[in-house]
Amino acid sequence: MDALRASYGDSSSDSDTDELSPAAENHGEVSTSGKHGKESISLPPPPLSLLESIGSTGSLDVYSTETVTRVRNFPHVHGNYALHVYIPVFIPLLAKKEIACVLKRVASLVPHLHLVEADIPLNILCNDDQKLDHALGREFHISLGRSVPLRVHQINSLVSMLRQKLQLHKRYWMDFNKWEVFVNDDSTRSFLSLEITTSGLSEISKQIDAVNEVYKLHNLPEFYKDPRPHISLVWALGDIRTSLKGAVDGELKKLRAGGCVQNRIFTSKFSGIECKIGNKTHKICKLPDE
């Protein structure tokens, strides 16, 4: 059992991507779920190894940033490991340029935005096209289930059941065609995201249903009743949906008037499903490259 724990890293290592509430008709949040209180933590600046993977030339001191205070999705408990089931997504080259254009404009209007996962201030990245391009070239995720704590004795069973439920899938296309702002369950963070509202929505919804079945068998909370598949690009502390949504909509209107952006942001092929537990990633379903 100790060897198994060691392979998954530190217990209760919370995912860097908070659970998001799908936007309701008007504002963008559903009622909170989960029975545990939230634990406030203060995070250090990004590690140098991460910054070197994104940066190029020049001193790394330009990335010095304010201390970021975030809230855990669940309290630290020894023997628990953060669980995240997701579809990996990479943004195509041409789409990265359009997305970077929008992000630069939004960063000039809304302060204190950070890149998802890396916690690097967006306004710093926007000063260097190469660094921003590298940042947008990383892997992004479409969540298929809530990020929740999993007990070590549940790991093998959950991974096995996920593979049984999700192993048979055909390749399909996913259209990311809408900029949207989401807020996590307790309104501690806001996220600027790219949502799927057409092609790929029905397939992903079925995959979420399959994950829910496995979660229920392990007494884990199910996903939102009306899921809205998306990838999150940047985040900010607190509930700033009004200002962030207003900035995005205003800039998109200007760019569309000038013919700089399209209705479809980008299209990606579904290529598989992964499950991250602690520090270990399991391939649940992977389609062969064409």
pLDDT by residue, tens only, the chain of 290 residues: 555 555 556 555 444 444 455 443 333 333 333 333 444 444 444 443 444 444 333 333 334 444 555 555 556 677 789 999 999 999 999 999 999 999 999 999 999 999 997 778 999 999 999 999 999 999 999 999 999 999 999 999 999 999 999 987 889 999 999 999 999 989 999 999 999 999 999 999 999 999 999 999 999 999 988 999 999 999 999 999 999 999 999 999 988 887 776 778 999 999 999 999 999 999 999 887 65
Topology annotation, domain 79-286: Cyclic Phosphodiesterase; Chain: A, (3.90.1140)
78 has catalytic annotation = no
Catalytic residue among 84, 114, 169, 230: 230
Give the residue extent of every domain in the chain.
79-286
CB-based contact 65:45 (threshold 8 Å):
yes
Model-wide pTM > 0.85: no
Catalytic residue among 141, 169, 218, 282: 141
230 has catalytic annotation = yes
CB-based contact 157:165 (threshold 8 Å):
no
- Residue 258 is predicted with a pLDDT of 76
